[in-house]
Structure 1
């Protein structure tokens, strides 16, 4: 063998094996955000395992590295920096904008893609982080708009009372979407509106104003999260008000129903049903895969966006032929009605969220939640409405 051939042979022998693709998870493994981040991160890992079992991504296996944000914004930024040192090429961050943004901004500063696990605030994307940041979850405003149009069409609702919990921006988003859609529906009237704070022990004055109306509203749009939502519902029903109560996805799950025994007439939108009655086989297949991994079915729909984000990012990487953020972002922004196990998804250059989505409608009757319908709003929530909330 001549020297050139020998040199080439030795170089080939010395060449390292193809490196893995590394995803960093800057998520809460402690603190109150852990209850949201862990299920969605588990779902993300399920999809990663499926991709790896099918041959990987761009012919490489996906590996993950994780850093605990401790439900602390300063720790989230440090977690992001740690993951960069660990070789992260894309970063998955906490479910909430406020707690996920510090790590997402670290990724953005390094020119990497980031995905919020399940954030539903428009700022968790282009508007609050930058052009390479996304969320696969459904905006809070879409949830409110869905309940407005569905109740008008399916329950013949024509009068509404809006009760907004001012605790977090998510609640404001639900009401913003409801108000926008409700104002566009034939014959729909808002009889009144009120506010409260999640920690309020009593909403007696708000209930008095509802009871003083000449006629009970067809629906009460309750824009709230736990634990305040459960307390509000209990007080509304104890006051003898029988209106159909609507809310957003954040109250999905049966864990809170002991606080409202025998509850009926409560409806909400979800991305998929955890109750075994979703008509899409892929959703129930995921529920069973989640149970096999954790020993229990998902406690709410908030596991699902973690699975979807990995699914969509991986497709964009395959189409781009690289994990380079600019190329992947371009592929993500080109997605329109991209099929997923939980319904179509898509993005645009000015909106890295879902401003329309197929939602399953869950209704609680006699204390038992079940899927009763599905609905996609007739038109997306405009960017101007989302930015005004």
Structure 2
């Protein structure tokens, strides 16, 4: 991760007042640590593991993502509302902290709602190292009572989904923001029965007017649609820092930090954001559920979890 630290130091030397760092604790933390050491605020647009913040990085680290505590709970609650989704097979990518904690938080809330016996199988793979998951696919097929799969995947999404569907596994697959994006869909052009929580639709059908307008402006400026919904969290990161600076009436990092820690449902592009001196990540920001049918994604509406357990450090 040396390149992340080097780039952070370069922009700080150039006079940056805030540094926007890479998503995920694993990738963004080195640059954030360098930024904080220089006395500036570091913001990740979509690091969702709660360790990215005060406890895991430092007092001037913030992230605009919904914590995996909230994402996992949201997905579990969504699943319980779907007819016939009674038995789950959980697939966890162990490559990064996000996917591990997403599955762990989904599992915790699902068990609260449906009981331990409703989990008919659990498996892992490493998305950075594994190109094939034949063994895992065989075990999913063997768990014939599973009527949906919770998929906590990070990379090689197209290859993994193609392998699963080609093996004849056609039960619903439930995923979250790390599976967002048009970059892998061509590998499974007729993808169906796939459900995902995202920050914004990239398909021109987002039901939130402000986000839909943002996406239109993005496409007009860059001459192509956004490839991932995370473009809105990048905008929101800058928006949040600007709100903090305005509230502080200053560019002083300590004053902006203190101002951002007073955010209570602060109106930002992705929804209301709340921070405290102890928690620099959102627990209840709504996400948009979408469903893919024959490769076409349709919005099912935004939602937040009814019950979210706070992070344990």
Same fold (TM over 0.5): yes
1:196 aligned onto 2:125: yes
2:20 counterpart residue number: 92
1:331-378 Cα offsets, whole Å, 9 max, x none, are 211112112222111112222112222110111111112212322100
Q: Which moved more, 1:330-339 or 1:90-99?
A: 90-99
Q: CA RMSD in A?
A: 2.0
1:122 aligned onto 2:40: no
How many residues align? The count is 311
For the residue of structure 1 that corresponds to 2:52, the secondary structure is: helix
Q: In structure 1, how many angstroms separate the alpha carbons of the residues matched to 2:115 and 2:32?
A: 44
Question: Is this contact kept in 1: 2:25–2:97, CA < 8 A?
Answer: no
1:65-214 maps to which residues of 2 (within 5 A)? 73-186=1-114, 189-198=118-127, 199-213=129-143
Following superposition, the deviation at residue 187 of structure 1 comes to: 5.4
1:213-237 Cα offsets, whole Å, 9 max, x none, are 3x4312101111231x333322322
Question: Is this contact kept in 1: 2:45–2:236, CA < 8 A?
Answer: no
1:133-166 Cα offsets, whole Å, 9 max, x none, are 1011222343232221101124452211101122
Question: Is this contact kept in 1: 2:94–2:125, CA < 8 A?
Answer: yes
Question: Is this contact kept in 2: 1:140–1:248, CA < 8 A?
Answer: no
1:345 counterpart residue number: 273
Question: Is this contact kept in 2: 1:363–1:370, CA < 8 A?
Answer: yes
Following superposition, the deviation at residue 94 of structure 1 comes to: 2.4
Is there any run of 5+ residues in structure 2 with no aligned partner, and where?
A: none
1:1-389 maps to which residues of 2 (within 5 A)? 73-186=1-114, 189-198=118-127, 199-213=129-143, 215-227=144-156, 229-384=157-312, 387=313
Question: Is this contact kept in 2: 1:144–1:247, CA < 8 A?
Answer: no
Question: Is this contact kept in 2: 1:157–1:219, CA < 8 A?
Answer: yes
Question: Is this contact kept in 2: 1:254–1:369, CA < 8 A?
Answer: no
Q: In structure 2, how many angstroms separate the alpha carbons of the residues matched to 1:379 and 1:372?
A: 20
TM-score using structure 1 length? 0.75
Following superposition, the deviation at residue 293 of structure 1 comes to: 1.8
Residues 89 and 157 from structure 1, CA distance in 2 versus in 1: closer, same or farther, beyond 3 angstroms? Answer: same
Question: Is this contact kept in 2: 1:116–1:135, CA < 8 A?
Answer: yes
Following superposition, the deviation at residue 184 of structure 1 comes to: 1.4
TM-score using structure 2 length? 0.92
Q: In structure 2, how many angstroms separate the alpha carbons of the residues matched to 1:369 and 1:265?
A: 10
For the residue of structure 2 that corresponds to 1:278, the secondary structure is: coil
Is there any run of 5+ residues in structure 1 with no aligned partner, and where?
A: 1-72
